[in-house]
Amino acid sequence: MAKSDTPLLDQLGGGKWPSFVDDIKQAAKKKPMAEDLLRQLELSYKEKIGHWKHGGIVGVKGYGAGVIGRYSDRPEEFPNVQAFHTLRVNHPTGWFYKTEALRNLCDVWDKHGSGLTNMHGSTGDIILLGTTTDHLQDCFDDLSAKGFDLGGSGSALRTPSACVGPGRCEWACVDSLDICYNVTMSYQDEIHRPMFPYKFKIKVAACPNDCVASIARSDLAIIGTWKGDIPIDQKEVAAYAAAGLDIQREVCDLCPTRCMVYNGKELKIYDEDCTRCMHCINLMPKALRPGGERGATLLIGGKAPIVEGALLSWVIVPFMKLEPPYNELKDLIFKIQDWWSENGRSRERVGELIKRVGMRTFLRAVGLPAVPQMVKAPRTNPYVFFWPEDIKKKEVK
């Protein structure tokens, strides 16, 4: 038997959990690119170091985003991955597919690339891993003919993403899928032609469970919420209790505001104290659900550490009704991006800019009122700025 070229990676093949090595090997049967990828990866495993160079500027006509240039630093050894560029393809909102669409994607990618993908990238796009510069335009054209378009990259609006929302979730307070799709279609220019100081991410979660990690991972988080009482189906509460749920211990005692009382028969919620944390609803979906008026809380500024440290998004609009065509939301997005583009430094995220110049400056620029819902507590230091109009002017006599 021939000796394997990839003894280290072979150890990650097979097993109970599906193996990426098996997938690369499967693609390598048809594609010399995938084979060289495997061989270069084996070298990385041996040397404990990556072998990709910074991307040059590559792309498709009319677009400044959507393609990430990638080159091997060992092109003589691995000639088939000398150029190994990535295409980011905007996924269908909610990551729903008919197999026909997936098969189309596979056919295009077998024709033009390595046959390897990520389903999906961290921001949500379909990632087509590895093609050469001369295939980029043709690949784009073929994708376009099948109804697909590129996603964002660089200092652009990144591909917005959304949770499954009303598509399959009883807790959806807003139509996360429609909002995401509407915003995506409205901002094609901003997605495809980088024009901001740095990246800008929008994520839409239909309830506070935030299944798309919007507070942690997006510059603008749109999260469904409600104003009003949680409707209670006491019969279903009793059924959960009968089925073994310890309502006192597992539901009431873990409520962060302790706004629930259970007397062994009936559940009572003091809704004015509820902060809509979802815990009780998560545990008893048949008995409890979001109630009353539906809308969204908007938060701004979330990001990973680079450069000034990681930030979790901050509340800027406690409640906004969100119904098509979402003009109030889009007006606000425009104002935010306009202010940030005007004031942000190169590679400064909007959260970092707000941290640098102050939330009050941001709020005034985009026309939002200061409300207590925005803070955990008021400031503790006395270093307070006042606006000129706050100050009584001396009368000139």
Partner 1 sequence: MPTDIGPPDYKTMLPPVIQRNYGKWRYHEILQPGLMVHVGETGDALYTVRAGSPRLLSTDHIREICDIAEKYCNGYLRFTSRNNIEFLTEDKEKVAPLLAELSRKNYPVGGTGHAISNIVHTQGWVHCHTPATDASGPVKALMEEIYEYFVTMKLPNHVRIALACCLNMCGAVHCSDIAILGIHRTVPKPDNTRVPNLCEIPTTVASCPTGAIRGDTKTKTVSVNNDKCMYCGNCYTVCPAMPIADADNDGISIWVGGKVSNARSKPTFSKLAIPYLPNNPPLWPETVAAVKNIIEVYAGNARKHERVGEWIERIGWERFFSLTGIPFTDKHIDDFNMATETFRSTTQFKWR
Entry field: residues in the chain: 397
Over the Cα atoms of the chain, what is R_g? 26
- Residue 296 pairs with which residues in a beta bridge? 224, 320
Which one, 277 or 363, has the nearer CB to partner 1?
Answer: 277
Of 58 and 278, which CB lies nearer to partner 1 in the complex structure? Answer: 278
Q: Beta partners for 299?
A: 221, 315
Query: What does the alpha-carbon distance between residue 348 and residue 4 come to, in Å, rounded to a whole number?
Result: 47
Closer of 147 and 228 to partner 1 (Cβ): 147
Six-digit token string for 138: 């043709």
Q: How far is the CB of 281 from partner 1 (least distance, A)?
A: 9
- Compute the least distance from the CB of residue 286 to partner 1, in Å: 4
- Kindly tell me which of 50 and 228 has the beta carbon lying closer to partner 1: 50
- CB of 322: closest distance to partner 1 in angstroms? 13
Q: Half-sphere exposure of residue 148, counting CA atoms within 13 Å on the CB side?
A: 30
Cβ contact 206:165 at 8 Å: yes
- Cβ 148 to partner 1 shortest distance, Å: 7
Q: How many of the other CB atoms lie within 10 Å of CB of 329?
A: 24
Beta bridge partners of residue 295, listed in sequence order = 225
CB of 176 to partner 1, least distance (A): 11
Task: Please report how close the Cβ of residue 8 comes to partner 1 at its closest, in angstroms.
Answer: 4
Locate 52 and state its tokens: 């990709």
255 or 320: CB nearest partner 1 = 255
Sign of CA dihedral 109, 112, 116, 119: negative
Q: Cβ(335)–Cβ(379) under 8 Å?
A: no
* Smaller CB separation from partner 1, 82 or 118: 118
Q: How far is the CB of 387 from partner 1 (least distance, A)?
A: 27
Q: Which is nearer to partner 1, 139 or 366 (CB)?
A: 139
Q: Which residues pair with 378 in a beta bridge?
A: none
Closer to partner 1 at the Cβ: 289 or 364?
289
Minimal distance, residue 217 CB to partner 1, in Å:
4
**Residue 250 DSSP class:** I
- 279-303 CB burial, b ≥16 within 10 A, e <16: bbbeebeebbbbbeebbbbbbbbbb
